[in-house]
């Protein structure tokens, strides 16, 4: 399959760290954030992998060119899709690179900065099967989260509906339940019919592209997955997530998502830190626990 990793954003809420380092390159638990969504594709064959760039593009290119690929094999072809003028948004980034994505029926879209830790390794396989089964234009990977409709926007399903999405909103929709989109979706090739015609215009894949597709009768489905998702958008949440993960990886027996994290750290760690450098006590704790993990003592 083909896919795109959305890597053009400014990471504004994580300033000042993202002023010099693009968010996908910032290490979380010593692993670059970009490795987390890519790790879900460990057992999938990736042909074209597109990475869109805008903010600090040279660093994004260096990150992916030098990445310790968290899949069994790196993609056949790594393609950088530059957005040198105005940033194009999630939908616009896909639209701009569409020729490298379509042709195999379905392609994936992943935010490059989402910490998604599944309970098992078959998430993408199950999502592909579900996407083929319902025949809709999109499958969004989602979880239940208490912040939907207040802290986070949501994908909203009518009460009693199992998977079909009615719409997207940052506020609750009466008669609906909201799910939290974790930044990973599958799209059918016919999505190219619903993008803006102006390739220089910023476009959101949910609120613009998919909303337009649904208005034309297309179906969008949400697939609830068993996974732990962490908010890392601002320094406070980032450090809180770090502390929770440090506790989880030393628990015995580890939770399924913590075991997944342990394995990912052992495969993809750069043994580097950035945000934790401003928290000496937390950094010392992290260095100690990860050293034990690398040596097999944890």
Q: What superfamily in CATH does domain 2-139+180-226 come from?
A: Spore Coat Polysaccharide Biosynthesis Protein SpsA; Chain A (3.90.550.10)
Q: Quick one: pLDDT at residue 101?
A: 98
pTM over 0.75: yes
Q: Quick one: pLDDT at residue 298?
A: 80
Residue 43 sits at φ, ψ, to 5 deg, of: -105, 15
Q: Quick one: pLDDT at residue 297?
A: 81
Q: Look up residue 45 and give its two tokens.
A: 């064959």
Q: With the CA atoms of 162, 168, 170 and 176 taken in that order, what torsion angle do they form, in degrees rounded to the nearest 10?
A: -30
Read off the pLDDT of residues 176-224 as tens digits, 9 standing for 90 and up.
999 999 999 999 999 999 999 999 999 999 999 999 999 999 999 999 9
Quote the CA–CA distance of 82 and 174 in Å, as a whole number. 40
Read off the pLDDT of residues 96-110 as tens digits, 9 standing for 90 and up.
999 999 999 999 999
Residues of the chain with pLDDT under 70: none
Residue 192 sits at φ, ψ, to 5 deg, of: -65, -15
Residue 206 sits at φ, ψ, to 5 deg, of: -85, -60
Where, residue-wise, is CATH 3.90.550.10 in the chain? 2-139+180-226
53 by DSSP, 3-state: which? strand
Work out whether strand 176-188 and strand 106-111 pair parallel, antiparallel, or are unpaired. antiparallel
Q: Quick one: pLDDT at residue 279?
A: 95
Q: Quick one: pLDDT at residue 149?
A: 93
Q: Look up residue 67 and give its two tokens.
A: 């990445």
Burial class from Cβ neighbours inside 10 Å (0-12, 13-18, 19+) for residue 86 reads exposed
Alpha-helical (H) ranges within the chain are 17-20, 35-39, 57-66, 89-96, 123-134, 211-215, 235-250, 256-268, 280-295
| DSSP category for residue 277 | G
């Amino acid at each position: 399959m083909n896919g795109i990793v959305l890597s053009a954003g400014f990471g504004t809420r994580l300033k000042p760290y993202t002023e010099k380092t693009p968010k996908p390159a910032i290490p979380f638990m010593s692993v670059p954030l970009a490795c987390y969504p890519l790790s879900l594709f460990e057992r999938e064959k990736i042909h074209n992998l597109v990475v869109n760039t805008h903010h600090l593009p040279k660093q994004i290119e260096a990150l992916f060119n030098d990445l310790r690929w968290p899949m069994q094999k790196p993609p056949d072809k790594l393609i950088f899709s530059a957005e040198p003028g105005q940033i194009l948004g999630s939908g616009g980034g896909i639209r701009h690179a569409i020729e490298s994505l379509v042709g195999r029926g379905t392609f994936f879209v992943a935010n490059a900065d989402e910490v998604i830790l599944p309970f098992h390794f078959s998430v993408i396989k199950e999502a592909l099967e579900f996407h083929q089964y319902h025949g809709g234009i999109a499958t969004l990977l989602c979880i239940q989260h208490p912040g939907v409709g207040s802290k986070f926007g949501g994908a909203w399903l009518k009460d009693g509906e199992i998977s079909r999405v009615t719409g997207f909103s940052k506020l609750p929709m009466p008669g609906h339940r909201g799910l939290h989109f974790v930044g990973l979706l599958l799209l059918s090739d016919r999505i190219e019919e619903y993008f803006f015609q102006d390739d220089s215009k910023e476009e959101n894949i949910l609120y613009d592209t998919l909303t337009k597709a649904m208005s034309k009768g297309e179906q969008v489905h949400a697939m609830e997955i068993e996974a732990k998702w962490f908010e890392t958008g601002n320094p406070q949440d980032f450090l809180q997530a770090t502390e929770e993960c440090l506790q989880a990886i030393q628990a015995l027996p580890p939770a399924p998502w913590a075991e997944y994290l342990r394995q990912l750290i052992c495969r993809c760690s750069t043994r580097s830190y950035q945000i934790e450098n401003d928290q000496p006590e937390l950094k010392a704790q992290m260095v100690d626990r990860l050293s034990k993990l690398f040596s097999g003592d944890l």
